[in-house]
Amino acid sequence: MHTASRLAIRTLCLAAATSLVGCGSSKLTASTGGPAEAGVCVGTPGALTSASLPRQTFGWTFVPAFAGADAGTSRDAGAVPVARDSGAAASRCATVSDGVTDFGDPLMTSTCVGEAWLRQTAAGPTLVFDDGSAFTWDGSLPATAAPYVASSSGDPVWADFEENTRSDCPECALYKTNTLEIRTSAGGIVRFYAQQGSTLPGMTDGQILDIFGVPATAMLDCTFQVRDSDCISFQRTEYGHQLATTPPQTVASGVWSTVDAPTGHYVALWYSSSETAAKVTCTDEPGEGTDNGFVAALVAP
């Protein structure tokens, strides 16, 4: 394929990420309906394909300390972080190349794990690892969803981050998935957890039990059909959840909620979906999306 033609196709695919128009196909449509017990879905339907914009549930900007473009290796600023006084290994971030698309766009996985510092600034909290890699609060979520900082000098915490950059086909736009977990210490209470992306699976029973200290039961909210006459169709079901606290508490789908849990008082935003009867017939189209954004932040005691 000539370079000019490939660039033209790529432009169309990038447009698909926001307009839900697949490369060479008709516009995706979402129609409400389904079983009698399902309500009518209201508001926006969430990501319909992997190239669709996901729900905004992450809230941070990742500022890595590394530089360069060494494929297949982790990269840092050059200096090796020193071990902590606690004896724990110094925390650091790494990015590994997972190849490139036909257009040369990098596919990669970035991870950060270990002890870090959570500090408050005028613009919001920052999370800093030992190698200098940092996360800054980006303002896309309300201030009440930011993790609290107890000490004026910052709080030592434990954190785990992963970002994946992927593409479903040679001509498809790139998409990212992000997860960030902040705990009071390794194995301690979850102070903040967020996941954002157009292809992420839903929160597991174990994750919810870990965060809130109680299990949750999914409650059917609504269903709708997504159809593209040329390439893709599926049915999506959205769910709210009831937490097994005393008394039970409901976290409605896509609504900011407060939760009084055995592990503490949280603010949370939870999207949850399942997709069935999926049919993808084109090889140059993004795959089906999911609507599983989640964020929970522990409120200061």
Compute the distance between CA of residue 143 and CA of residue 54 in angstroms, rounded to an integer: 20
As given in the structure block, the two tokens for residue 234 are: 């599926």
Tokens 């992000």 locate to 178
Distances 301 to 192, 260, 265, 266 between C-alpha atoms, Å: 14, 12, 8, 10
Does residue 236 contact residue 28 with C-beta atoms inside 8 Å?
A: no
DSSP run (H or E) holding 31: strand 29-32
Mean pLDDT of 113-137: 96
As given in the structure block, the two tokens for residue 35 are: 């079983």
Could you report the per-residue pLDDT of 255-276, keeping only the tens digit for each?
999 999 999 999 999 999 999 9
> Which pLDDT does position 237 carry in this prediction?
93
Of 43-52, 75-84, 103-112, where does mean pLDDT reach its minimum? 75-84
User: What's the one-letter identity of residue 268?
Assistant: A
Exposure b/e, 42-56, CB count within 10 A at least 16 = b? eeebbbbbbbbebbe
> Which pLDDT does position 22 carry in this prediction?
33
Domain positions in the chain are: 3-77+88-298
Of 34-38, 63-67, 255-259, where does mean pLDDT reach its minimum? 34-38
Inform me whether the pLDDT recorded for 98 exceeds 50. yes
Reported confidence tier of residue 185, pLDDT bands at 50, 70, 90: very high
Residue whose C-alpha is closest to residue 298's, from 186, 150, 138: 150
As given in the structure block, the two tokens for residue 18 are: 């926001």
